[in-house]
Chain A
C-alpha cells in the first residue's frame, strides 16, 4: 500500500550525484579504451547497484538482427549469458527475458550505435516497483556510453588512432610531416622531413634553422594567427634542402588536432612545390623552355588554350593517370575527376577562366592504379606577347596528407561524442526544487568544434536555510575540463554545506585544487542568499559580477572580487554583501555570455543589463530572452551557463507538506516551518517552540510508520486570526508512549500548545495542535 507513492518523489540529490558519478566513471573508462566486454560488465554491475535491482542484462542484436545476444549481466540464470534470444520483428516490449527471470517489474532502454538500434540494456526487479523518470534517465545515460564505446570499438577494428600508429604511417609516406603540441612546440617530424632538411632528432629547432630567413617571419605570423583560432592554415615558404644545399619552395598545410575534444596541437605537411614555382617563372620566358623543363620535372603539369582545352600535359601527369598525351588533350581530363568532386571542381575552373584569375582546387583524380587519389591542382593565366593565351598548371599528389586529415577528423568526432556524453552526465538535468525560490538555468555548449566546455551551475539548500548558488567555468576545453568541472561541482556541494562564508568556501576549494597534482584553473561565482530577508553575500573568483534585476532597474553587484581558483596559494578571497530588494531576481552567468573578441567587455555587460531588463516575468522566459538577445544569431564561441533565482514572497496562511517517514526529513521540515513562521510574524521564542512541537509530533509519526521503505506522513499548518493550527498525520497505528524520551516528547507537545487532540483512525493517527500567537495578537 505504502509503496504506491514511490514514483511521486524525485530521487534524493545524493542518489542523483552518485549516479552522475557512475556514468562519468563509465564514460572515462570508455575513453581510456577499456575493452568493450569489460565495459559492459562494469555497466551491468553499476546499474544493479545504483537501481537496487537483482538482475541486469546487456543485450546486443545479432548481425542478422533476428536474435538478441546476452552480452553481459548480473544475476542472470545459467544459460542466458552468452545465449541468443529470438527477436520477433522490431520489438519494443520488455524482452522475453522478463518471463525467464520471473521479474515483476522491468525497465528497458535501447542502445544505439551509429544512430541505429544495436541492443538493449534492461533492469529487472523481483519485487514490483515503479521505475522513476530518474531511473530511466540513468539507464539511458549508461546506454549512450555503451553505444559510443561500441562505435569506437568498431572503428578501432578498421584503424588504430594512436599517435604511435600515426608516426609509423607518417614515416612511411614520402611527404614531409610534423606535429606540434598545444603550445606550438614541434614534438615530431617524420623521416621525410628529416631527409629533406638533414635535420637531427632535435625537432624543436627544425623550422627555425631550415626555413629561409626572408620567409620565416611571414610563415610564423600565418601560423600564429591560425593557431589562436585553432584553424587550418596554409603558407608557402622556402625550406633548405640538405642534399643540394638550396632552398626549395614548399606548401605547408597545418590542421589542428584534438584528443577527447581538446585541442592538443597541429599536424602539418609540407609539399615540395619548387618545380611548380620554377615552371611558372620559366613560362614567363617561353613556352618551349617550359615544355623542356616540364618533362624532366617530377610534378604534374599542363597547359590549356584560351578556351580552357588542354594542349599539353607532361610526363609526370601521364605517369599518374597511365594515359597517353593524345587521350588527355581537350576536355577529357574532366572524366577522371571523382564524381563527388566534379561539380565544384569544374564550376570553379570555369568561373576562374571567365575572370582570368588563378585557380586552385583540391580534388580526387583517377590514378592509373584504378583508385582515386587526392591532388591539389593550380592554374594561372598565361599571356603571349601581352595577349591571353590560356592557362598553365601544376598538380601535386597530396593523397597521404588528405588521408591523414580524414583520419584525424574521424578520431576527433568519436572522442567528441564520448566527451559530450560525459559533460551531459555531469550537469544537473534539472534544478532541485527549493521551497520559497523560483529557479531557472540554461547550459549552451559552445559551437566551436572542439568546445566541450567546463562550465557548470548548481544550487543547494544549506542547513541554515539559506540557498547557495554557484556558476563556474573551468579553464580549457575537452574531456579533462568536463571531468574537472564534475569534481569542482562536488567540492562546492560539500564545502557549501559546512562553510557559511562564501569567501571561506572559495578559499577551501582553492586549497584543495592547489594541493592536487593536475593544473586546474577555474573562475567561480559563489553566492549565498537568505530567501526571507534578501540578504546575500558572494565571492567572485576571477568571475564577472552577478546581475540584480530590481523593480527599479538592473545593476551589477560590485566587490567581492579575487583571483581565479587555482591561480595562487595562498590567495586572498574577498566577499561582498548586498540586500536584494523585494521582488528582485538575480542572474548568474559565465563569461561565454559576455566575452567576445569583437566587443569590449563593458559594452557586453551593458547589453546584458539592458536586455535582462526589469524584475517582471518568469525566469525561464528571462533566460531565453537573455540568450537570444545577447548571443544574437551567432552561436556562442564558448560554452555558456546561466542561472536565475528569485525569492518568492512567503505565504503566511497555509502550508501543506508530505514527507518521507524517516528521521532525516525532520531537518527539512524545520526549514519549511521556519519560513512559514517567519512570515506569520511569530517571535523567536514562538518560532522555536512551535517548530519543536510539530517536529515532536512528526517524530512520533515517523516511529509509527511501519513497513517497507516508502512510507510518508503529512503536515499541515494554517494561521488565521492570530491562531496557529498544526496537524500531523501518519499512516500507521498509534502506539502508546514508548520509553522516557517519547514520553518527554508528548509532554513537550502538551505543555507548549494551547490545545492538543489525538485522533486514532483506520488509516493512521492525526494529531491536531493549536496555539495563539502572543506577539501577533499584540500587534
Chain B
C-alpha cells in the first residue's frame, strides 16, 4: 500500500497552484514529482505548491522539492511553497533549508502576489 496523498491543480493567471494533501513519503514521492511536472505547462511562470493541508512529509518528499526547483529553473520557471507559520512541518522545512531552493510563503495570496 502506498501512502495516500492527493494533489489538486489549478491555473491562476501565469501561475499553477498545486494543493497537496495527505502524506508524502518514499512510496509516493517520485510519483508525485511526475504528476507535478506534468501539470506545469510551458507558458506558466510559477508553480506554487501549497502544503498547508499536508499531514506528513519525509526526506524523500523534501528531496522532490529540491529536484523540482532545479528542473523548473532549467525551464526558466520558478517554484514557491505555501505553508502557514504554525505548521508542524515548519521546522523540518527550515532545517533542511528548502527555502534556499524555493521561497516559503505564509499564505497563497502572498505567494501569488509577488
Q: What residues make up the interface of A, taking CB atoms closer than 8 Å to B? A: 14, 463, 497-498, 663-664, 666-668, 670, 684-685, 687-689, 691-692, 695-696, 699, 740-742, 744-745, 747-748, 751-752
Residues of chain B within 8 A of A666, CB atoms compared: 3, 25-27, 58
Q: Would B59 and A744 count as touching, CB distance under 8 A?
A: yes
7 further interface pairs, Cβ-Cβ under 8 Å (given A664-B1, A688-B88, A752-B95):
A663-B25, A670-B56, A688-B92, A689-B92, A741-B59, A744-B62, A748-B95
Give the shortest distance, in Å, between A88 (CB) and chain B (any CB). 48
Q: What residues make up the interface of B, taking CB atoms closer than 8 Å to A? A: 1-4, 22-23, 25-27, 56, 58-60, 62-63, 66, 88-89, 91-92, 95-96
* Cβ-closest 7 pairs across A and B: A741-B63, A745-B59, A688-B88, A463-B4, A744-B59, A685-B88, A663-B27
Give the shortest distance, in Å, between B98 (CB) and chain A (any CB). 10
Q: Would B3 and A741 count as touching, CB distance under 8 A?
A: no
Q: Would B63 and A688 count as touching, CB distance under 8 A?
A: no
Cα distance, A14 to B4, chains bound together (Å): 16
Residues of chain B within 8 A of A663, CB atoms compared: 25-27
Q: Would B63 and A744 count as touching, CB distance under 8 A?
A: yes
Q: Would B3 and A667 count as touching, CB distance under 8 A?
A: yes
- A685, A688, A699: the one within 8 Å of B56 (CB): A688
Most A CB within 10 A of own CB, among B23, B59, B88, B91: B59
Cα distance, A586 to B40, chains bound together (Å): 48
Q: Would A463 and B3 count as touching, CB distance under 8 A?
A: yes
Residues of chain B within 8 A of A691, CB atoms compared: 56
Q: Would A689 and B3 count as touching, CB distance under 8 A?
A: no
Residues of chain A within 8 A of B96, CB atoms compared: 744, 747-748
Cα distance, A411 to B63, chains bound together (Å): 65
Which residue from chain B places its CB closest to the CB of A702 in the assembled complex? Answer: B26
Which residue from chain B places its CB closest to the CB of A691 in the assembled complex? Answer: B56
Cα distance, A666 to B24, chains bound together (Å): 11
Residues of chain A within 8 A of B3, CB atoms compared: 463, 666-667
Which residue from chain B places its CB closest to the CB of A741 in the assembled complex? Answer: B63
Most B CB within 10 A of own CB, among A497, A684, A688, A742: A688
Cα distance, A687 to B87, chains bound together (Å): 12
6 pairs, CB–CB < 8 Å, chain A vs chain B: A463-B4, A667-B23, A695-B58, A741-B59, A742-B59, A745-B58
Given A667-B3, A688-B89, A689-B92, do A696 and B59 touch, yes or no (CB 8 Å)? Answer: yes
Residues of chain A within 8 A of B27, CB atoms compared: 663-664, 666-667
Given A463-B4, A667-B3, do A751 and B23 touch, yes or no (CB 8 Å)? Answer: no
Give the shortest distance, in Å, between A482 (CB) and chain B (any CB). 28
Which residue from chain A places its CB closest to the CB of B90 in the assembled complex? Answer: A685
Cα distance, A668 to B62, chains bound together (Å): 21
Most B CB within 10 A of own CB, among A666, A687, A691: A666
Residues of chain A within 8 A of B23, CB atoms compared: 463, 667, 670
Which residue from chain B places its CB closest to the CB of A462 in the assembled complex? Answer: B4
Q: Would B91 and A741 count as touching, CB distance under 8 A?
A: no
Given A670-B23, A696-B59, do A747 and B95 touch, yes or no (CB 8 Å)? Answer: yes
Q: Would A692 and B92 count as touching, CB distance under 8 A?
A: yes
Most A CB within 10 A of own CB, among B27, B58, B89, B95: B58
Cα distance, A428 to B27, chains bound together (Å): 28
Residues of chain B within 8 A of A740, CB atoms compared: 63, 66
Cα distance, A687 to B62, chains bound together (Å): 19
Give the shortest distance, in Å, between A675 (CB) and chain B (any CB). 15
Cα distance, A498 to B6, chains bound together (Å): 10
Which residue from chain B places its CB closest to the CB of A695 in the assembled complex? Answer: B58
Most B CB within 10 A of own CB, among A695, A741, A748: A741
Cα distance, A752 to B62, chains bound together (Å): 15
Q: Would B58 and A699 count as touching, CB distance under 8 A?
A: yes
Residues of chain B within 8 A of A751, CB atoms compared: 95
Q: Would B63 and A689 count as touching, CB distance under 8 A?
A: no
Which residue from chain B places its CB closest to the CB of A751 in the assembled complex? Answer: B95
Cα distance, A609 to B56, chains bound together (Å): 42
Q: Would A463 and B92 count as touching, CB distance under 8 A?
A: no
Q: Would B59 and A685 count as touching, CB distance under 8 A?
A: no
Residues of chain A within 8 A of B88, CB atoms compared: 684-685, 687-689
Give the shortest distance, in Å, between B62 (CB) and chain A (any CB). 6
Q: Would B1 and A696 count as touching, CB distance under 8 A?
A: no
- A14, A497, A498, A748: the one within 8 Å of B92 (CB): A748
Residues of chain A within 8 A of B56, CB atoms compared: 670, 688, 691-692
- A664, A668, A685, A692: the one within 8 Å of B58 (CB): A692
Cα distance, A696 to B26, chains bound together (Å): 10
Cα distance, A606 to B35, chains bound together (Å): 55
Give the shortest distance, in Å, between B2 (CB) and chain A (any CB). 7
- B1, B2, B26, B91: the one within 8 Å of A685 (CB): B91
Cα distance, A752 to B88, chains bound together (Å): 13
Residues of chain A within 8 A of B63, CB atoms compared: 740-741, 744
Residues of chain A within 8 A of B26, CB atoms compared: 663, 666, 699
Cα distance, A498 to B5, chains bound together (Å): 10
Given A667-B1, A685-B91, A689-B91, do A463 and B58 touch, yes or no (CB 8 Å)? Answer: no
Give the shortest distance, in Å, between B29 (CB) and chain A (any CB). 9
Residues of chain B within 8 A of A498, CB atoms compared: 4
Which residue from chain A places its CB closest to the CB of B4 in the assembled complex? Answer: A463
Cα distance, A456 to B32, chains bound together (Å): 37
Which residue from chain B places its CB closest to the CB of A750 in the assembled complex? Answer: B95
Which residue from chain A places its CB closest to the CB of B64 in the assembled complex? Answer: A741
Cα distance, A747 to B60, chains bound together (Å): 13
Cα distance, A714 to B44, chains bound together (Å): 46
Cα distance, A161 to B96, chains bound together (Å): 74
Most B CB within 10 A of own CB, among A14, A497, A684, A695: A695
- B1, B25, B66, B91: the one within 8 Å of A695 (CB): B25
Cα distance, A740 to B95, chains bound together (Å): 15
Cα distance, A160 to B81, chains bound together (Å): 72
Which residue from chain B places its CB closest to the CB of A465 in the assembled complex? Answer: B55
Give the shortest distance, in Å, between A439 (CB) and chain B (any CB). 20
Give the shortest distance, in Å, between A735 (CB) and chain B (any CB). 16
Cα distance, A666 to B57, chains bound together (Å): 12
Which residue from chain A places its CB closest to the CB of B63 in the assembled complex? Answer: A741
Cα distance, A741 to B88, chains bound together (Å): 21
